[in-house]
Structure 1
């Protein structure tokens, strides 16, 4: 059976309550009327205050709601943090971990990301785990060693059963929000490399089943070519997911 393409919208710190509900209701109305998306897994990650109502709005539809972050403790004196059990209590069972913006602005290192990964898996929360190299890394031709190191220090501490709860999102940092998109050749080579090291670590069954998404300045003009490239199982969409018309075009492909 062919795997469903996975389209993830990461809204980051955008949209208030009205904008969030307006977008979701109109998006769901459109895909219902046009009878699209049955061959795709669509995930939207709104801001934390609106996760509950977003999940309520999407109940009984093909749309899934994800959180953008999680803390690595179950409870305690951690002002401002959100635990796995809190997410589960409002029906959220998908989370984004390891985004380069979290690494850069909140100094998340691979040790803390591994803890977040493990706490999510403990609570049976699926993880969209982001990896990617900087422009300097690629300019020095170090992109493959950087990606392998990121996986060795995090994902590869997981058992084969735990891997079943993980999606990989390859996002070259130099292409996030810059308008610069990796070429199809760059994308397919990296996705092949990632899948191959999963094969070396876990064998054919896991390497063939794991979903590897691409993220980095995907829009309605380039999405089809990227998402349907070899070894690409979907896309992690940033800015273009905030535009209802553009996002609809992306999920229609």
Structure 2
């Protein structure tokens, strides 16, 4: 089964509104004509409406110039599982959708590490994303100590089973999973393409057991962890690596465009 690659950029807590707009404008220009893969960027919450408006303006201009519309979509970096209520400081799925996003990153290791997110809270957030027709990008990954103790797949199995508990395969049709080993995020370290391929194969096998072969073969599994222009092609040459969730290297439009256009 053919799966369309997805190259996603997580901007984390970087870029003021004007910086975000300038970056997406440059990225859109550098990826014109890229039509065999999907692109997603996840700016900070406050920049989402600005980036959305800029992309609309760019696409209108591209149409007038008979250029292909940009394939860039917008994601949020987190959400709260309730739609509304007295939850000071939180942002709901309907609010994210209304601001112009179509995707949302859920369960990033930094959210787990610094903000106490659990597999159970991640499961609730995935449900909230689907209720608002957002595509959840569910992050999973092991720490360096877990890797050294050879617990990688034990950890991933637990995160997947608990994070997707109670769902049917038809409810998860647009789900994306991003394998991000915690020891490789922002460290410069990266797993080899063969190591990633082996882990992705195991993830797909688990999903086949849980939800069936059709679901497992259609779901996109991304890799994240110090992805750069010089290693993306090798990663994407593997059968079970369907894209990348890029951190630091997505902050610069030229660098990220090289990854997108691998």
Normalising by the residue count of structure 1, what TM-score does the alignment of the two structures yield?
A: 0.96
C-alpha displacement of 1:138: 1.1
**Residue in structure 1 matched with residue 171 of structure 2 by the alignment:** 162
What is the alpha-carbon distance in structure 2 between the residues aligned to residue 225 and residue 124 of structure 1? 33
Q: Is the 8 A contact 2:123 2:165 kept in 1?
A: no
Matching residue within 42, 48, 51 for 1:51: 48
Task: Say whether 1:10 aligns with 2:10.
Answer: yes
Matching residue within 124, 127, 151 for 2:133: 124
**Residue in structure 2 matched with residue 185 of structure 1 by the alignment:** 194
C-alpha displacement of 1:91: 2.6
**Residue in structure 1 matched with residue 245 of structure 2 by the alignment:** 236
1:61-87 per-residue CA deviation (whole Å, 9 max, x = no partner) reads 311000000001111111111011111
Task: Say whether 1:29 aligns with 2:38.
Answer: no
1:168-207 per-residue CA deviation (whole Å, 9 max, x = no partner) reads 0000000000000011221011000000011111111001
SS of alignment partner, residue 82 of structure 2: coil
Matching residue within 244, 255, 261 for 1:252: 261
What is the alpha-carbon distance in structure 2 between the residues aligned to residue 15 and residue 23 of structure 1? 9
What is the alpha-carbon distance in structure 2 between the residues aligned to residue 195 and residue 124 of structure 1? 24
What is the alpha-carbon distance in structure 1 between the residues aligned to residue 245 and residue 50 of structure 2? 22
**Does 1 or 2 have the higher relative contact order (CA < 8 Å, sep 6+)?**
2
Give the count of matched residue pairs: 250
C-alpha displacement of 1:8: 0.3
What is the alpha-carbon distance in structure 1 between the residues aligned to residue 121 and residue 212 of structure 2? 27
1:85-113 per-residue CA deviation (whole Å, 9 max, x = no partner) reads 11122232210000000000111111111
Q: Is the 8 A contact 1:111 1:153 kept in 2?
A: yes
SS of alignment partner, residue 76 of structure 2: coil
- In structure 1, runs of 5+ residues without a counterpart are none
What is the alpha-carbon distance in structure 2 between the residues aligned to residue 125 and residue 248 of structure 1? 24
Q: Is the 8 A contact 2:73 2:102 kept in 1?
A: no
